[in-house]
Amino acid sequence: MAQSSDELIKREIVDFFIKQNGLPELRIFPQSSKDDQQLFSRGGLTFGVAGTMYGSCDAAWLTQDKWKDLYDGTTYDLRPIVALEGTDALNRGSSGNAQYQRFHHALGAVRNGVVGIYYFRSGIDKIQPDLFGMAVSVSKLEKTPYLITDDLKEVKKIVKSASSGNLDGYLNDQVTKMELKFQESFKKRYSSNWEKFAHDRSTIIKDDSVIKYAGRNIRNFTESSQRAGHIAVGEMYLTKYFFPDKKVDYLFPRMTSVDLTYLDGNKSTDKEWFLLRNEPNVAIRTLDELIGLDKNLREAFISVRLEPLKGYALKTYQSAIMKLRNLLQEDKVFLRESSN
């Protein structure tokens, strides 16, 4: 039986770091354990801020020192200095936005002042350059390095640098290198033009906000066979950190206010949905919040509200979303004012 991504990552980390000397204590749990889902301060590998828990990490390095957990404000005698979330996505056909889906796991650590690493086990595909841009923006805004790598030797250097308190040296150099990688890719793919990026990536740039639209529907968040929640969160953070000075309206035109109420009432303990609904400066918007939308266009979205996006449903959605995009860009349709 093939090993899961988590099993491969954890085994690789154990096999590599068990041979290393002079490093801080490593906290890691077997794949069968659910201990990593507990808060770090309670013996696990999950980080939270102000009552919001993020996804669990795969490993963390820690020292005997005072540390304040920003989840509940309590001070503890163990201080995490580096937290790592890993994935085998490069070997599993994840060459696109599926790579974003675990980005928020290490983000919880970074928001706690802990150096975060999103580690990709080397494979057939390449790391999406957008992730470097996201991590650079996080590092600058959160004032704690968030690093992305596919090299465990690099992870070792990061841990050693963090344990020596060298946040202004080696780690910042790594952030600069990520920024150069992102800029090179952005220039090649989008000619360094944010409007071109927005056109290609389902985004509309306004003066004080951006509208990120996606074809998610209620089934994407209620059926266990679908992983849309993780990817939706990843795309939300990409938009937030690519446009850090703007409010993000995350528009799901195949969802209604009734769907939103249902999910809020029935998925309140789901980490991904909770993050989508509680991320500062981000608002989930639905079809019902569009002002000025004509009846025919609304009915087009309603007609494919619960359908898989393929065949006729896909064609209907694509036609409707392009019309809606143009109307939003031309300020002929507006989003209702949001309190978020």
Give residue limits of the domains in the chain.
5-185, 194-335
Distances in Å between the Cα of 31 and the Cα atoms of 3, 35, 61 are 10, 10, 18
**Per DSSP, what are the bridge partners of residue 149?**
119
Q: How confident is the model at residue 1 (pLDDT cuts 50, 70, 90)?
A: very low
Give the residue among 80, 137, 75 at the shortest CA–CA distance from 103: 137
Binned at pLDDT 50, 70 and 90, residue 2 comes out as low
Q: Reduce the DSSP state of residue 254 to 3 states and report it.
A: coil
Alpha-carbon distance 200 to 69, whole Å? Answer: 40
CA quadruple 73, 75, 76, 81: dihedral sign: positive
Predicted local confidence at residue 179, as pLDDT: 97
pLDDT of residue 92: 78
At 233, list the tokens.
């969160």
Mean pLDDT of 202-226: 91
- Residues 23, 245 contacting (CB under 8 angstroms): no
Q: Are strands 46-49 and 52-56 parallel, antiparallel or unpaired?
A: antiparallel
Collapsing DSSP to helix, strand or coil, 67 comes out as strand
Q: How many residues does the chain have?
A: 340
Q: Quick one: which of 85, 56, 52, 44 has its CA closest to 70?
A: 52
Q: Residue 227: what residue type?
A: R
pLDDT at position 340: 60
Query: Lowest mean pLDDT: which of 34-38, 90-94, 138-142, 188-192?
Result: 90-94
Structure tokens that stand for 279 in this block: 């991320």
Give 149-208 pLDDT, tens digit per residue. Answer: 999 999 999 999 988 876 678 898 999 999 999 999 999 999 999 999 999 999 999 999
Which of 28-37, 80-89, 307-316 shows the lowest mean pLDDT across its residues?
28-37
Buried b (16+ CB within 10 A) or exposed e, 229-257: bbbbbbbbbbbbbbbeebbbbbbbbbbbe
Give me the residue label for tokens 């968040």: 221
pTM: 0.92
8 A C-beta contact, residue 114 and residue 65: no
- The SS3 call for residue 282 is strand
Q: Convert the pLDDT of each residue in 304-315 to its tens digit.
A: 999 999 999 999
| Rg of the chain, C-alpha, whole Å | 21
